[in-house]
Structure 1
Amino acid sequence: MSVEVTNETAWQIDGKIFSDLGVWVMSQMRVSTQSDLTIMFVDPDPIAQLHMRWMNLEGPTDVMSFPMDELRPGDGGTEMEGVLGDIVLCPWVAAQQALAAGHSTMEEMMLLTIHGILHLLGYDHVTPEQERQMFGLQRQLLLTFFALRQGAGARATLPAGTSDALAEWDREHGAGGKTAK
């Protein structure tokens, strides 16, 4: 399995943890070891542009998934093989959500990574039943990954003096702190 991680932000993020997480989730979902995934961290403006272009929704969002070969989870006997797709995350929005949820930005970004992978595998949360299934699975995957890594302790941080790109985006676009969810 190949998981490429790119960080185009000021955030200091250990890409290896996200690569390991992606490989582990794909293996748990029985996706072939020959499959590829890309995880990209971007600032508010690029994800807002993607959000408008592909979802016709304004403002930065937390995560977007772009499936390629429309792989689905394996069924125990077969494993799906191909290019899973791309996940684009905005650490600025993740940090805001983490603060509201009472956990770390790193935990939020890991949860969003799993959420994005599940979307790439065809999961959705449009109906209450779909939401229960998807959110339950992403929680189970995250907690199991944490248990297996015992005290990975990785953090996502910003260098001292880095300006708040999400607040700047809001000011420039007159959003008044109303980023998309």
Structure 2
Amino acid sequence: MSIEVLNESGEVPSPVPEQELADLGRHVLEQLRVHPQAELTITLVDEAAMAALHERWMDLPGPTDVMSFPMDELRPGHDEEDPAEGVLGDVVLCPSVARKQAAAAGHAVGDELLLLTTHGILHLLGFDHAEPEDECEMFDLQRTLLLTFLAQRGRTTTAAPEAGRA
């Protein structure tokens, strides 16, 4: 599995270590049985870059917390079929927006970024939350994936795992 983390946000050090974001990505992809040769990029950007992406691709003003850009339309694997190989796509995070959201919610920015990363990867895999039943399925899965990742590391989170706005 190839997971590249790029910090183009100007925040050094990043609120979440690059290795932890890569480890989370690997955990999510393994749990969902995505092909072991799948490729994922996680990029942290500043507010100006995120605002430009948000306006160009969503036709909405200002920066947002997370955006997902799927490439090969990979989906979670199932028992009856082998998962497809390919490029999953890109998750783009904006740490400064995440920081504001974390402060408003009363939890750590690192927890918010882990939550948003999980949320973005699920979008790459075709999950959505436009309809109530889809929202319930996506947020339940998001909660499970994030909490199992943190439990493996002997940690908990203060972020509400059902959150996610993208």
Q: Distance in 2 between matches of 1:142 and 1:96?
A: 20
- Say yes or no: does 1:62 pair with 2:65: yes
TM-score by length of 2: 0.89
Instruction: Specify every segment of 5 or more residues in structure 1 that has no aligned partner in the other structure, as ranges.
Output: 154-179
Q: Distance in 1 between matches of 2:56 and 2:44?
A: 18
Q: Distance in 1 between matches of 2:102 and 2:143?
A: 15
Post-superposition offset of 1:103:
1.2
Q: Distance in 2 between matches of 1:151 and 1:73?
A: 26
**Counterpart position of 1:43:** 46
Post-superposition offset of 1:102:
1.7
8 Å Cα contact 1:6/1:41 also seen in 2: yes
Post-superposition offset of 1:79:
1.9
8 Å Cα contact 1:70/1:120 also seen in 2: yes
Q: Distance in 1 between matches of 2:52 and 2:45?
A: 11
AA aligned opposite 2:76: P
**Counterpart position of 2:123:** 119
8 Å Cα contact 2:69/2:90 also seen in 1: yes
Instruction: Specify every segment of 5 or more residues in structure 2 that has no aligned partner in the other structure, as ranges.
Output: 158-164
**Counterpart position of 1:82:** 86
Alignment of 1:127-146 (within 5 A): 127-146=131-150
**Counterpart position of 1:8:** 8
Post-superposition offset of 1:92:
0.6
Which one has a bigger Cα radius of gyration?
A: 1
Secondary structure, counterpart of 1:93 in structure 2: helix
May I ask how many residue pairs the two structures share in their alignment?
155
Q: Distance in 2 between matches of 1:143 and 1:152?
A: 7
Runs of 4+, deviation exceeding 6 Å: none
Post-superposition offset of 1:74:
0.3
**Counterpart position of 1:158:** none
Considering only aligned residues, what root-mean-square deviation do their CA atoms show, in Å?
1.7
TM-score by length of 1: 0.82
Q: Distance in 2 between matches of 1:152 and 1:33?
A: 27
8 Å Cα contact 2:128/2:138 also seen in 1: yes
